[in-house]
Amino acid sequence: MPGEKILVIDDDTNILEVLQMRLKAWNYHVAIAKDGKKAKTALSATPFNLVIIDLRLAEENGIELMEEIIGCYPNLPIIILTAHGSIESAVEAMRKGAYSYITKPFNNEDLSLHIKNALEKQLLTKEIEHLRSQLDKQNNFKHIIGNNKRMQEILERVAKIAKTDCTVSIYGESGTGKELIARTIHHNSNRAKGPFVTLNCGAIPEELLENALFGHIRGTFTGAHESKEGLFLQANGGTIFLDGIGNTSPALQIKLLRVLQERDFKPIGGTKSVKVNVRVIVAANTDLQKAVNDGTFREDLFYRIHVVPIYIPSLRERKDDIPLLATYFMTEFCKVLKKDIKGFTPAAIQRMMLYDWPGNIRELQNKVEHAVIMANKDVIATEDIFNSTNTLKNTFNSYRDAKERFEREYLENLLRMNKGNITNASKMAKRYRADIYKLIKKYNINPEIYKNDLILINTENICT
């Protein structure tokens, strides 16, 4: 794709000249840098499509520089130049995220092929990002995949909650779909035409969080040349989704409590309160009840946000959904990439079912995306999904882990069926109450959450 911008980093002037000439002859735009400092300046000034970097730079470590670049520009492909005989460092570079490597001296054909492939990869990544944002915008229920019984119950509950205006708290491990559920609630509510504003409280430094949420008045602090509207005001008439609520400081928790109670707030440096009409949805991937017990989360705020809790199970607790989700993501990615893949091999499905998915649905989505890009045949095989660092050896659990997983799942189901009532649960399991308590303690489970299941079925009754 001529016209793309390529940055070449090498301390050897001869190589720089040769590369510059060849790349220009192929109609690419080329910039050169002799060291890391110049390279970073160039990268921050112009968006590049590709970087070619020599691993052995005179003054610095090429791999470290490469890692730094990947950290800042994760979607920018990097091709490594390496001397013959130093393949090991090239392999290390690949493991750390380089796209490919070429050994010196290189021939024109090789160089051109590596560049074309890397640029194609960058284009695909961009298209996929676009698709993702498109997918996120379409927030109908049909984009939430899940036949699992617990997921079906959650979706029924979501449909009911959406029509009310109550505060919702969503709990689940990272990547389980908390934001997707929050968006769905918003888009199926009476506020659907209003804004949906999200903030990940854990991703912003504490001192900036208050400013982001409530804004400030001009002249309040050095640099505050203009007044700034906070996210609460931006969400007026719509919904604000606060992810990582468990990461907020006690001072901010007081402010959040006030907005939830009074539906007003004061911007930083302001004297007048500003009224807002906002629905609040919060999410946490930690146990907030435990945080309350530990004294790190305000109890009054907890009860304010814990009006309608939704607990999203991890993917390993709903493995029956894996084939469905994998096929859904495959079909979506095939559409964008214009690939015609029919499905997965039985072995691939089996391996996916055995794997534990610590990153939940996001990890599954990423692995399928990668597999669709890599697949050369019309079915996706195990090795397209799992690379060598992810072998069955790593995913197969020890006997102890497997037993603990069973015990935990059994206990969760038992409590769910008995709505958190320990006496009934112990009868059903034919065990002493003390045994059940012991397990509850061992797995740090809060039986209260299963009581809420009961209330939640009739959410209209408690939401005003």
Ligand X SMILES: Nc1ncnc2c1ncn2[C@@H]1O[C@H](COP(=O)(O)OP(=O)(O)OP(=O)(O)O)[C@@H](O)[C@H]1O
Query: What residues between 253 and 292 interact with ligand X by CB under 6 A?
Result: 285
> Which of 50, 245 has the CB closer to ligand X?
245
Rule CB under 6 A: choose which of 42, 83, 131, 144 binds ligand X.
144
To the nearest whole angstrom, how small is the minimum distance from the Cβ of residue 45 to Mg ion?
Answer: 33
> Which of 6, 213 has the CB closer to Mg ion?
213
To the nearest whole angstrom, how small is the minimum distance from the Cβ of residue 64 to ligand X?
Answer: 28
> Which of 352, 425 has the CB closer to ligand X?
352
Examine residue 309 and tell whether it contacts ligand X (CB under 6 A): no
Rule CB under 6 A: choose which of 365, 418, 426, 452 binds ligand X.
365
432, 425 in Cβ contact below 8 A?
no
Q: Considering only the stretches 57-65, 359-367, 411-419, 424-432, report the one whose residues sit in contact with ligand X under the rule CB under 6 A.
A: 359-367
Give the residue closest to ligand X by C-beta: 177
Nearest to 4 by CA among 42, 65, 46: 46
Rule CB under 6 A: choose which of 178, 318, 351, 367 binds ligand X.
178
Q: Which entry of ligand X, Mg ion, none binds 36, CB below 5 to 8 A by partner kind?
A: none
Neighbours of 416 (CB within 10 A): 17
270, 157 in Cβ contact below 8 A?
no
Rule CB under 6 A: choose which of 176, 211, 247, 426 binds ligand X.
176
Examine residue 174 and tell whether it contacts ligand X (CB under 6 A): yes
Q: Considering only the stretches 64-72, 81-89, 176-184, 348-356, report the one whose residues sit in contact with Mg ion under the rule CB under 5 A.
A: 176-184
Residue 231 CA to residue 217 CA, distance in Å, equals 14
Q: Considering only the stretches 93-101, 177-185, 262-270, 425-433, report the one whose residues sit in contact with ligand X under the rule CB under 6 A.
A: 177-185
283, 178 in Cβ contact below 8 A?
yes
- What single-letter amino acid sits at 451? K
Neighbours of 316 (CB within 10 A): 16
Examine residue 384 and tell whether it contacts Mg ion (CB under 5 A): no
To the nearest whole angstrom, how small is the minimum distance from the Cβ of residue 129 to Mg ion?
Answer: 17
Q: Which entry of ligand X, Mg ion, none binds 177, CB below 5 to 8 A by partner kind?
A: ligand X
> Which of 144, 445 has the CB closer to ligand X?
144
Q: Which entry of Mg ion, ligand X, none binds 144, CB below 5 to 8 A by partner kind?
A: ligand X
To the nearest whole angstrom, how small is the minimum distance from the Cβ of residue 366 to ligand X?
Answer: 9
- Per DSSP, the three-state class of 273 is coil
Sequence-distant (6+) residues with CB within 8 A of 292 are 298, 299, 302
Q: Which entry of ligand X, Mg ion, none binds 459, CB below 5 to 8 A by partner kind?
A: none
Task: Give the total of residues touching Mg ion (CB under 5 A).
Answer: 2
Rule CB under 6 A: choose which of 62, 77, 177, 238 binds ligand X.
177
HEC readout, 185-221: HHHCCCCCCCCEEEEEHHHCCHHHHHHHHHEECCCCC
Burial class of residue 208, CB neighbours in 10 A (0-12, 13-18, 19+) = exposed
Examine residue 180 and tell whether it contacts ligand X (CB under 6 A): yes
Residue 184 CA to residue 159 CA, distance in Å, equals 9
To the nearest whole angstrom, how small is the minimum distance from the Cβ of residue 162 to ligand X?
Answer: 16
Query: What residues between 234 and 263 interact with Mg ion by CB under 5 A?
Result: 243
Query: What residues between 94 and 133 interact with ligand X by CB under 6 A?
Result: none
59 Rama sector, left if φ>0, alpha if ψ -120 to 50, beta otherwise: alpha
β strands within 34-165, DSSP E: 50-54, 78-83, 100-104
> Which of 54, 173 has the CB closer to ligand X?
173
Q: What CA dihedral angle connects 59, 61, 62 and 66, to 10 degrees?
A: -120
Residue 272 CA to residue 258 CA, distance in Å, equals 14
- What single-letter amino acid sits at 146? G
Q: What share of the chain is helix, strand, coil (3-state, %, to 5)?
A: 55, 15, 30
To the nearest whole angstrom, how small is the minimum distance from the Cβ of residue 286 to Mg ion?
Answer: 13
Q: Supply the DSSP symbol for 238.
A: S
Place of tokens 């005003």: 464
To the nearest whole angstrom, how small is the minimum distance from the Cβ of residue 72 to Mg ion?
Answer: 23
- What single-letter amino acid sits at 71? G
Query: What residues between 225 and 244 interact with ligand X by CB under 6 A?
Result: 243
To the nearest whole angstrom, how small is the minimum distance from the Cβ of residue 328 to ligand X?
Answer: 6
Residue 334 CA to residue 451 CA, distance in Å, equals 43
To the nearest whole angstrom, how small is the minimum distance from the Cβ of residue 200 to ligand X?
Answer: 7
Residue 247 CA to residue 245 CA, distance in Å, equals 5
The tokens describing 343, both together, are 């499905």
Is the preceding omega at residue 105 within 30 degrees of 0, hence cis? Answer: yes
User: Of all helices (H) and strands (E), which one includes residue 391?
Assistant: none
> Which of 238, 244 has the CB closer to ligand X?
244
How many residues are present in the chain? 464
> Which of 81, 284 has the CB closer to Mg ion?
284
Examine residue 179 and tell whether it contacts Mg ion (CB under 5 A): yes
Task: Give the total of residues touching ligand X (CB under 6 A).
Answer: 16
Give contact residues for ligand X (rule: CB under 6 A): 144-146, 172, 174-180, 243, 285, 361-362, 365
Give contact residues for Mg ion (rule: CB under 5 A): 179, 243
